[in-house]
Amino acid sequence: MSLIDKFRVTCDGLVIEPAAPADFERVGNLTVDAYLAAGHFDDPQHEYMQFVRRVADRAAKAEVYVARREGAVIASMTLVPFGSEYADIARAGELEIRMLSVDPAAQRSGAGKAMVLAAIERARQLPEVHAVSLTTGGNWTAARAFYESLGFAHCAQRDWYVPNTEILLVVYTMDLR
């Protein structure tokens, strides 16, 4: 049994644990539903929506977690180490949060916060990790305020644009030292 298999957090009625293969379809659908509901995309067939549905591939190369309430998956996230092909921004010593998604019916229930806190706890278990990083939309004010309220700092020098678009993504980090 690996460390990821042993990682399990309970918080406010949620159980956060590694996604099982039986969860993969739900995780892909939940991620697409959350992104569409938030207005980040308007086409469920968009190339990126197809990418986030490939959960089995992601789980083979990164850590995919789910949050369950009364047994039902209501949130998911992927934790990506530096050097992984799934890393967008992770630098040496960072664990990157990617594809954090909460079922639209469960938003504002504390699931997103519980997932981020679990990611921080997981990062603290990894001796080579000293920071957590993530990317969010430049104009997603509520998301930015949420991350700042948890102690993340905006690293403007690391902000970037989605290739071939005018979509600005902003980088936040939390130093764990």
- Residue 63, Cβ neighbours under 10 Å: how many? 22
Q: Is the pLDDT of residue 177 over 70?
A: yes
Residue spans of the domains in the chain: they are 3-175
> What is the structure's pLDDT at 38?
73
pLDDT digits (tens, 9 = 90+) for 108-133: 788 999 999 999 999 999 999 999 99
Tell me the DSSP string of 20-82: PGGGHHHHHHHHHHHHHHTTS-S-TTSHHHHHHH-HHHHHHHSEEEEEEETTEEEEEEEEEET
> What is the structure's pLDDT at 6?
63
Q: Is the pLDDT of residue 4 over 60?
A: no
Check: pTM over 0.85? Answer yes or no. yes
pLDDT digits (tens, 9 = 90+) for 75-112: 999 999 999 999 999 999 999 999 999 998 887 788 99
3-175: what fold?
Aminopeptidase (3.40.630)
Confidence of residue 2 (pLDDT cuts 50, 70, 90): very low
pLDDT digits (tens, 9 = 90+) for 11-65: 678 999 999 999 999 999 998 888 888 776 777 777 887 888 999 999 999 999 9
